[in-house]
């Protein structure tokens, strides 16, 4: 029982509703033991069932109206791609089905109000009590769902970040949030991506690289590895698009300097993790002929996205350019160029050298300005 009470306090859905059902049964049987609902006139039963059906109908109508208003506001803030979060909200459908079925039961019993057996009445009492008890729970759940962090967490549970068009959906939500001046939602999404890349993704790519190096991998696994590289390319593309969109929104005055730097500072570490994964963790695979070409292509695309960000940052106002340009120029890992040269990727090494030289020139220029 203590576990169920704790679950109710923390609002874990299934235990909460089980506890609500237990409480409903207890309440009804306590009233029955006290002599309530005994020898009740059929007209009173008819009135009670009719009133209960009307109350439940009113409650569920208000609830649905509230949800529709919340969905409209959410779509305005975060784009239509979050609609599935509400559509796949199990609690909403459980509550809706419970209320709808209870109303149907009450109306059915009304047809035979003068000839009802005690079991049917008890079921109606228990069900009606249960629906009233869960009312605070699902209202609370609905308000919680309007919280950006909860909404994003549920979205990322529904859609795996590495599958399908999830990255495009993430970009739609992030860009719409920036446009709506809800920069905190975008920052939270980027934080979740960063956590995934540093932990789950890096561990996954290390394990796969070790298996490939030890010749313990099948063709199907190679196909999975290629899909991982495609995900990296897609992620850097989305991050670059989001970085450029952030700069555009800052220049148009829609978001402040602090908000723009906040987002850029969330994007830059993810690029660091990506380049570390591609060069440091996967370094032995550059000597595997079946994989080298795909690795080079993925690395080339990631470098291209980084170059585009750096090119755009050169045009931004000085208050952002000075710090952000320096950070993105220093994204590449230590010994990045020498590692590429040892693997025979000379053309990629040359592109990295140009970024490195530009970073040195930029530091000299900034030092000169400060003097």
On whether both 174 and 135 belong to a single domain, the answer is: no
Contact between residue 157 and residue 180 where contact means Cβ atoms under 8 Å apart:
no
Which structural domain range is residue 25 located in? 2-145
Which pLDDT band, with edges at 50, 70 and 90, does 367 fall under?
A: very low
| CA–CA separation, 9 and 1 (whole Å) | 12
Instruction: State how many domains the chain has.
Output: 2
Q: Is residue 151 part of a domain?
A: no
On whether both 131 and 178 belong to a single domain, the answer is: no
Which pLDDT band, with edges at 50, 70 and 90, does 38 fall under?
A: low
Q: Which residue has the higher pLDDT, 346 or 215?
A: 346
Span 59-102, pLDDT tens digits: 888 888 888 887 777 777 676 667 777 777 777 888 888 888 88
Burial of 266 (0-12, 13-18, 19+ CB in 10 A): buried
Across the chain, what does the average pLDDT equal? 79
Which pLDDT band, with edges at 50, 70 and 90, does 362 fall under?
A: low
Beta-carbon contacts of 236 under 8 Å, excluding residues fewer than 6 positions away, are 271, 274, 301, 302, 305, 306
Q: Is residue 154 part of a domain?
A: no
Residue 301: the pLDDT is 92
On whether both 75 and 218 belong to a single domain, the answer is: no
Q: Is residue 153 part of a domain?
A: no
Contact between residue 146 and residue 218 where contact means Cβ atoms under 8 Å apart:
no
Which pLDDT band, with edges at 50, 70 and 90, does 325 fall under?
A: confident
Q: Which residue has the higher pLDDT, 264 or 154?
A: 264
| CA–CA separation, 303 and 268 (whole Å) | 13
Assess whether pLDDT exceeds 60 at residue 139: yes
Residue 225: the pLDDT is 79
Question: How far, rounded to the nearest angstrom, does the alpha carbon of residue 339 sit from its chain's CA centroid?
Answer: 36
| CA–CA separation, 76 and 156 (whole Å) | 19
On whether both 200 and 290 belong to a single domain, the answer is: yes
Contact between residue 236 and residue 297 where contact means Cβ atoms under 8 Å apart:
no
On whether both 207 and 310 belong to a single domain, the answer is: yes
Residue 31: the pLDDT is 64
């Amino acid at each position: 029982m203590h576990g169920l009470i704790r679950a109710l306090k923390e609002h874990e859905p299934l235990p909460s509703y089980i506890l609500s059902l237990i409480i409903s049964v207890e309440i009804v049987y306590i009233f029955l033991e006290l002599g309530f609902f005994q020898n009740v006139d059929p007209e009173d039963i008819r009135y009670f069932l009719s009133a209960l059906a009307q109350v439940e109908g009113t409650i569920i109508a208000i609830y649905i109206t509230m949800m529709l208003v919340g969905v409209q506001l959410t779509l305005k803030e975060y784009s239509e791609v979050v609609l599935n979060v509400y559509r796949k909200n199990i609690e909403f459908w459980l509550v809706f089905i419970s209320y709808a079925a209870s109303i149907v039961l009450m109306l059915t019993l009304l047809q035979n109000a003068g000839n009802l057996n005690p079991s049917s009445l008890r079921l109606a009492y228990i069900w009606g009590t249960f629906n009233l008890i869960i009312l605070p729970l699902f209202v609370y759940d609905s308000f919680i769902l309007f919280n950006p962090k909860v909404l994003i967490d549920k979205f990322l549970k529904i859609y795996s970040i590495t599958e399908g068009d999830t990255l495009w959906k993430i970009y739609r939500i992030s860009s719409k949030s920036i446009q709506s001046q809800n920069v905190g939602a975008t920052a939270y999404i980027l934080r979740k991506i960063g956590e995934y890349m540093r932990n789950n993704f890096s561990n996954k790519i290390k394990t796969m690289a070790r298996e490939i190096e030890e010749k313990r991998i099948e063709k199907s696994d190679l196909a999975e590895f290629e899909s991982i590289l495609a995900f990296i390319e897609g992620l850097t593309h989305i991050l670059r698009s989001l970085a450029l969109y952030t700069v555009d929104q800052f220049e148009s005055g829609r978001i402040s300097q602090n908000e723009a730097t906040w987002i850029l500072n969330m994007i830059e570490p993810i690029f660091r993790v990506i380049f570390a994964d591609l060069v440091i963790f996967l370094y032995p695979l550059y000597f595997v002929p079946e994989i080298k070409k795909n690795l080079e292509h993925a690395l080339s695309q990631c470098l291209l996205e980084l170059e585009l960000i750096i090119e755009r940052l050169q045009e931004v106002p000085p208050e952002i350019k000075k710090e952000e340009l320096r950070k993105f120029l220093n994204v590449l890992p230590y010994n990045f160029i020498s590692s590429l040269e040892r693997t025979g990727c000379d053309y990629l090494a040359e592109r990295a050298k140009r970024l490195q030289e530009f970073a040195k020139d930029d530091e000299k220029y900034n030092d000169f300005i400060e003097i």
